[in-house]
Homo-oligomer: A and B are copies of this chain.
């Protein structure tokens, strides 16, 4: 999965796309094989720009339009922490922040304190806070960011409002139930307010980070396990926390230790006999696209191309290369455009494609699929699906 793989013709580069501009001899050769077919994926649906959550859920075979597969932002972020969530956990996104002596918010980001500082403050809170009938766990993320996990025996409600007023010059708000008659939401709001009150006291001697702001209450989605659905032993090789988290949410084993794509591929090779499915995530194409850096995206693609032969060597039966969404550098962000896809396997029909580009994939033998349909194609090509009906 080359994050943000698809692009768009760019006026500064004669209206050709990043994939067209890139020199990709290995991908070209792969795509030209008689046993490789190309096509286009629509991650959510026509015209819809997907976030990373729905983009990856689709790749794993879950229709992101089904409400039951919606992952709240809080759950998504927390899933990206190296921290094992439990089904009943209620998760908030948390900022360390600064208030004045009058209680008015001075800095929502507490002067952008360091990750080290964030870790120290999280530890400080975790040691001192004590809630009635619930455990509060602060897990630091980057800089001033953290997650708060409220853990109880009984499920808490996510139907509570943020305490983050989203703007400086205002007072942090009390946590309120969205519906004041909802007993579960009231109980949750009471717990949250008790947490914030204690946190403010504990942090009162801090020069910058003397307050916490909470937003995006969410519970873990109850997503059926990928491995169970498909009868696969699945492993994920991803470097960025968010993608490790999504893989963990669907029940994949997440491999540790790699710091670049070459090491990821080596990692997959090492574990090849332990699993029957590998998800390998590569981030840099998306990052470059988001920065609007056409040539850096080209370079990221060319790096993938250089590494690609090592993937082929491992000995997979079926290989797909695609993205979770397009990130054209022209748009400096995710986009609604379809995503190039190539699939190889012993029972693939031939097509005319010679390059993995938007233009060639639009004419490819695989046609156009909604992303969540791809898993069935891969499973079929791996000989892992039975006949439907008699």
Contacts and interface: CB of A to CB of B under 8 A. Distances in A.
Contacts of A71: 389-390
Given A385-B336, A388-B54, A350 B47 contact: no
B47 A9 contact: no
Q: Main SS of the interface on chain A?
A: loop
Interface string A356-372: 00110011010111000
A72 B390 contact: yes
Given A351-B359, A367-B368, A47 B390 contact: no
A388 B50 contact: yes
A199 interface: no
A39 B354 CA distance: 22
B40 A367 contact: yes
The residue in A334, A375, A376 that gathers the most chain B C-beta atoms within 10 A of its C-beta is A376
Interface residues of A, number: 58
Given A336-B380, A347-B335, A373-B46, A389 B64 contact: yes
Interface of A: 8-9, 15, 17, 34, 40, 44-55, 64, 70-73, 76, 328, 330-331, 334-337, 347, 349-351, 358-359, 362-363, 365, 367-369, 373-381, 385-390
10 contacts: A8-B349, A47-B380, A47-B381, A48-B380, A49-B380, A50-B387, A51-B389, A73-B390, A335-B380, A367-B368
